[in-house]
Structures are given as C-alpha cells and as structure tokens.
Structure 1
Amino acid sequence: MEKKKGFFEGSFGKFVLPGIILQSVMIGGGYATGREIVEYGAKYGALGWLSGLGTFLGFAVIAALTYELIRLTKAYDFKTFMKTIGGPLWIVFDIVYLLFMVVIIAVMASATGNIVEQTLGLNYWVGVVAITVVVAILNFYGSRLIERFETLGTVALYAGYIIFSVLVIGTFGKNISTVFANHDTSFIGGSVSAGKALWSGVLYCAYNLVVMPATFFTIERQTRRVESVVSGIIGGVLATIPWFLTYFAVMCFYPNPDVLGASVPWLAMMQGTAGPVVIAIFGIVMGWTLIETSTGIIHAALERVNNGLKEAHKPPMTGKQQAILTIIVLVGSMVLSKVGIIDLIATVYNALSYAFLAIYVLPLITVGVYKIFKLRKAEKEEQKKHAVSATQKHAV
C-alpha cells in the first residue's frame, strides 16, 4: 500500500512552497524596513507602481525558467545550477553571492538592532545577538525545520503587513489619490520617465535574486513543467504583494522627507498611526522577517558547501558545524552593519543588481532557455517511449 503523502509533499510542496520560501527569504531584505521600496519605487511617486510591475514580471519569468531548468537537470544547489548556465563562470557567482550574503545580512542586522531599540526599548545589540542565535539554531536542524518555520512565518507576516497597511492607509489614505491626481513625482526633484520607473523595478528584482538559491532545494518535488511555471508565477505574486502594500503606505506620506528619508520608513509611518503595543508587535514581526531572510540565504550557502564536500568524496557538515559557520557569517555581517542601512543600500545594492543581471539573468535567458528546449525535447521522446512500451506490455 502506497504511503499517503504529507502536506508538504503534495500539491502544496510542488506549487506553493517554492514561492513561500522565495517570499519569506526575500521579505526581510526587501521589505522589513521599507527603505528598499523607497529606493526602488516609492521615490517615483505616482509612477512608482511601474517599479512594482517590473519586479513582479522579473520574478515570475526568472523563477519559472530557473525552476524548470532545475527540474530538468536536477541542479538543486547553486554551484551545480550556475555550472549549467555559466560553465566555468560559476566561480564568479560564488564570489558575488557570498559577498552579497554578508552585505544583505549586515542590512538585516542593522535593521534588527534599530527596530528592536526603537520599538521595544532594548539595546541595539540585543536584537543583533537574538537574530544570530535563532538563525544558527534553524541551520543546525536543516531543511525540514526551515520549510515549516518559513511557511508559518509567511502566514504571520502577511497578517502583520495587512494590519499595518490598513492602519496607515486607513488614517492617511487621502493623500494617495492626491499623489496620483497630481501625477506627483516631486521627491526626486524632477521629471521621471515610465521606463526609468519600470527599470528600477527590474533592478530591485535583480539584487533580490540573491534569495533565489534558497528555494532550489524545494524543487526536488517537481516532476512536470506546469509545476515549474505555476510555482514561478506564484512566487512572483507572493514576492510582490508586500511591495505594493508598502508602496501605497508610503504614498500616504509622499513626498514627506521625514518618511521617505528615514532609515526605517515603516517605523516612521507606524509611529504616527499606532500605539506602543502595536509598535512593539511591529518590532517582533519585523525581527521575524529578518530571521527568515538570514536563515534562507545562509542555508543556500551551506547547501553549496555540502555539495562541494560531496564532490570531494567527503562527508557533509554536521548540524553543529553548520551552526558554527552560520555564527561566523553573522558575526562578520554584524561588524559591517555599523556602516548603516541607507549607505549600504544606496552604494552596494545597485552595483550588485547589475552583477546579478550579468551573471545570472543573461546566462539564464540565453544558455538556460536553449537547454530547457533541448532537455524538454529529450523528455518528451522518453515519455513517448515509455507510453509505447506500456501499450505493448498491456497488449501482451
């Protein structure tokens, strides 16, 4: 008798889980502070929604192509995947990924320290140490715990974002219609084209591709093209909903520099609309997003290391070794976190966006697409052979 599949092994695991992991890992680096949405969309005011559209299209297309190629090649870690589309250039992706991993976790550490300090009244380093301990524990126990932690986290985080957005928009929402009626783009001090706003969304998607390898291990469940495509689109939708919630919340204050110029715009908006209890809950929810991002990014790096050990015919890291390596990465990021959120995002993120476009997106839409068509043709021929063989066997 065939064993009944668990919830995570059925349709949920095939269609929805990759998108949930994508969104949950991205949300801390992409949305927790609100700073990123200002830099890559909200600063354009009435045209900012085009940045959100660019982000959605970018994630949906790239995720669908990535998942289909992984399904066909069984490249479940990013070294194997990058070898598939980039050949010997995989080492460049390794370097950029590891660099960006440290930078984005530095942003997370800085944001956690600031949010915990301002919402709960605790010392800056309490939040930073807390994220280190929790992320180390999650990577000690590995993939299955991370899947469940981030699935539950997504439900809680969406509830939180919806509540916070309703509070802000419900109080100051009249300004949104004013911004669009006046075609207001005044925060950037000049006119902006629709194309520039759309391209900003593409860049936002590009730098967030650092989270894509964190989803690779979930693709092992997929067996059909429809699962790859649909899960990619779902990933794009899940990754973009918080973007638009944050964008419209910021539009309630546009072009107020006290909000759009804040290190943590979400906190600036919440302090004007909610009491201390809600602010404290906000701090806890944001801390959770930062844990999810750091966990997912480091987990992908650990999978990469374990694959390298396997290729060298050595045993994979133990849970204890994974936790220790996690702490080392986090401590390095803590030191970098003192640079500050705005400086890190403004100076480093753009450069890394173009790096990911060059070493990930370009090879994927050229070499990757060619290999998908080639492998799909071989897969169809194999399926036909099995069908003919089954028919003949049945006839006998």
Structure 2
Amino acid sequence: MMASSAYKKYFLPGLISQSVVVAGGYGTGRELVEYFVNYGSLGGVLGMALVTTVLWSLVFAVSYEFARTFKVYDYRSFFKELLGPGWVLYEACYIVLLLIVLGVVGATSGSIFMQSFGLPPLVGAALFLGGVATLTFFGSYVIEVAMSWWSYLLYAVFLVFLLVGLSQVGGQIGANLFSGEIKEGWALGGFKYAFYNMGTFPAILFALNYIENRKEAVLSGIMTSVITILPGFFLYLVIMGFYPAILETELPTYAILEKIAPWLLPVYMVVLFGTMIETGAGFIHAVNERINAWLVDRKGTGLTRANRGLLGGLMALVGLGIASFGLIGLIAKGYGTISWGFFILHGVALFTIGIYKIGRKKVDAR
C-alpha cells in the first residue's frame, strides 16, 4: 500500500508528463534539433541540463505545492486562483498550444503510417482520431493507467535506441560532444523549450491529488523534471552521431533508425504513434476537466462520458486540419512564440503571486 502511494506521489505525475511531452516535445527528434542541437554539440547539452531541467524542476515543484495548498486540480481552478480574472489569458495560450500540438501529432501520425507501412496518411489520422476519442471517453482513471504503463514501454524503446546508437556511431557521438561546440543562444533555446512544454502542465493536474505535504510536492516536481527529460537526452546523444548533417531533416529519429536499426523502426513508430494518441488525449482531457469543473459550478452536474468522447474526437479532428501547415513550421514558429506566454502567465506569476499566496495561506491557517 505504501509503495503504491509513493508511486502515485513521486512517479505518476512524471510518467504522465513524459507521455504528453514526448510526442510534441522530442518524439520525432525535430524538436530537439530546433531547440538544442542547433546550438552546437555541447551548447545543446547545456541548454537541456542547465536550463530546461532546472526550470522544469523549479516550476513543477512550486506548481505542485500551489495545487496542493489550494486543492486546485484542473487548469481553470488553478489559474483562476493564481491569476484572478487574468486566468482567461492563460486559457487563450493553452488553446493555441493545444491546436499547435494537435497539428504536430496529427502530421506525424500520418507520416508514420505512410513511411513505415506504406499506408495512406488518412489511416494514421483515423486511428489517431479514434484513439483520442476512446481515451477521453473513459476519462481520468483510464488515461492515468494508459499513460503510466505506456511510459515504461517508451522508456524501454528509447533505451534500446540509445544502446544501438552507442554501438553503431558511439565514436562519432563522443567526437562531437568532446569538440565542445557552443553556439550563441543555447540558453534561450533551453528556456523556450522549457516553457512551451510547460503548457503540458494542465494535463498533469488531475493526478496531483495524491500529494499530501510540501516535501512530497517538491520531490515530485523534481522527479517529474528528470523523468520527462531523460528519454530526450537519450535521443540527443544518438542524434550527435549524425551531427551536423541531421539539422535539415524533418523527421531525424526516423532517418537515424533507417540507417542504424531498421528492425527497430516499426516498433519505435508504433510506440510513438501510441504516444501521439496519449499526447492528444492528455491535452484534450485537461480541457474536458476545465469544462467539467465549470459545469459543476454552474449547474451541479458535469460532462457525461459521451460528451467527453465527442469533444475529444472533435478537437482531434481540428488538429488534423492544422497538420496541413507542415511539421517544421509548426515547431519552429508556433512553439517558440507561445513559450513567452507560458513564461509570463505561469512562470513569472507563479514565482511572484503564487509564492506570495502560498505563504499567506500558511499564515492564515495558523
């Protein structure tokens, strides 16, 4: 029982975060190229370790403590408590990010089935749509279980990918890393990556109600950061074996696997596709929870399962339409711009208003 409780407090939020971040954050490898690899072999490592990981640890830790203190486990309640009337600005940023992410995962889903199995992109799109609608239909518990168990499989595949990469191009990886190349802008790249991915925070909120005290909140926040970034670091190392030629490749992960481990490619693509569904479902479930909380406040009754599934399917369909804008453009322009909104409305607000309110709440409780 204690082991199960510790798992839900310290590991479950991180596994959910990783499941949601992977598809929009580093599953294709394009995101890592854009925000880390572009700044040199060592510059990317510094951006990932010293900026992204540290920022995530701090923001997750304080966010978890804020959610615990005020018992707010959906993003409407959380940001209403943090920002007051200004919470609607956060929601606007979140909806924009939701559409960008659904566009990215929708585009990637079609590419996976076309490149891996020779099937029309519509097949991947239909399966993506059906998977998202199914998970959102069943709600929090099924999403929680699906994301945590799928994360184990994802970690296993990324670890195999790393081991194969080290065995095939380990010399080139080492040579590129030890060259110590650092390009200007590495800190900004890590910063942008950290804060556009903080847009996944609403998808984690529903799983934070197991945290009971401040120590647990801080440790869970740090664990979330480490669990989320580690597979990305595995992939970054393998990408270094093909640097700098890999910089202009739209789907770096796919291109690398074709060269060093074609036998692993179908497995990776199936696992990645499942993660695309989880990412879409995680983002949409956060919206469903927000709508549900509003309905309970206003009418005393929440969303039915059918409502949740229908909303999930409709939002996923919109994302598939956005996918036509192209993967590289969505990642380079959309993510980079929206990161500033999350920095101000989540990061800055949390470390000013949020910490002040936590402190005041503690004083009031005496």
- Cα offset for 1:19? 1.3
Q: Which residue of 2 aligns with 1:30?
A: 25
- Secondary structure of the residue that 2:325 maps to in structure 1? coil
**Root-mean-square deviation over aligned CA pairs:** 1.4
Residue 109 in structure 1 maps to residue 98 in structure 2: no
Q: Which residue of 2 aligns with 1:359?
A: 345
Quote the Cα distance in structure 2 between the aligned partners of 1:342 and 1:106: 11
Deviations 1:26-84 (A, max 9, x none): 11111110110001101222211011111111111100000000000001111111112
Of 248, 261, 264 in structure 2, the residue corresponding to residue 261 of structure 1 is 248
Residue 326 in structure 1 maps to residue 323 in structure 2: no
Of 90, 115, 118 in structure 1, the residue corresponding to residue 115 of structure 2 is 118
Counterpart AA for 1:21: I
Quote the Cα distance in structure 2 between the aligned partners of 1:278 and 1:12: 30
Task: Kindly indicate whether the alpha-carbon contact (under 8 Å) linking 1:71 and 1:219 is maintained by their aligned counterparts in 2.
Answer: yes
Q: Which residues of 2 match residues 332-343 of structure 1 at below 5 A?
A: 332-343=318-329
Of 203, 209, 213 in structure 2, the residue corresponding to residue 220 of structure 1 is 209
Residue 13 in structure 1 maps to residue 2 in structure 2: no
Quote the Cα distance in structure 2 between the aligned partners of 1:121 and 1:46: 37
Q: Which residues of 2 match residues 163-182 of structure 1 at below 5 A?
A: 163-182=160-179
Residue 153 in structure 1 maps to residue 160 in structure 2: no
Residue 278 in structure 1 maps to residue 264 in structure 2: yes
Counterpart AA for 2:205: F
Of 352, 361, 365 in structure 2, the residue corresponding to residue 375 of structure 1 is 361
5+ residue gaps, structure 2, are: none
Quote the Cα distance in structure 1 between the aligned partners of 2:199 and 2:320: 19
Task: Kindly indicate whether the alpha-carbon contact (under 8 Å) linking 2:177 and 2:240 is maintained by their aligned counterparts in 1.
Answer: no
Q: Which residue of 1 aligns with 2:220?
A: 231
Quote the Cα distance in structure 2 between the aligned partners of 1:357 and 1:294: 22
- Cα offset for 1:131? 1.1
Counterpart AA for 2:161: F
Residue 249 in structure 1 maps to residue 238 in structure 2: yes
Of 319, 333, 342 in structure 2, the residue corresponding to residue 347 of structure 1 is 333
5+ residue gaps, structure 1, are: 186-191, 382-396
Task: Kindly indicate whether the alpha-carbon contact (under 8 Å) linking 1:120 and 1:283 is maintained by their aligned counterparts in 2.
Answer: no
* Greater gyration radius: 1
Counterpart AA for 1:86: L
Q: Which residue of 2 aligns with 1:41?
A: 36
Quote the Cα distance in structure 1 between the aligned partners of 2:2 and 2:305: 24
Task: Kindly indicate whether the alpha-carbon contact (under 8 Å) linking 1:250 and 1:260 is maintained by their aligned counterparts in 2.
Answer: no
- Paired residues in the alignment total 364
Counterpart AA for 2:346: Y
Seq. identity, %: 30
Quote the Cα distance in structure 1 between the aligned partners of 2:16 and 2:159: 19
Quote the Cα distance in structure 1 between the aligned partners of 2:163 and 2:119: 27
Task: Kindly indicate whether the alpha-carbon contact (under 8 Å) linking 1:179 and 1:254 is maintained by their aligned counterparts in 2.
Answer: yes
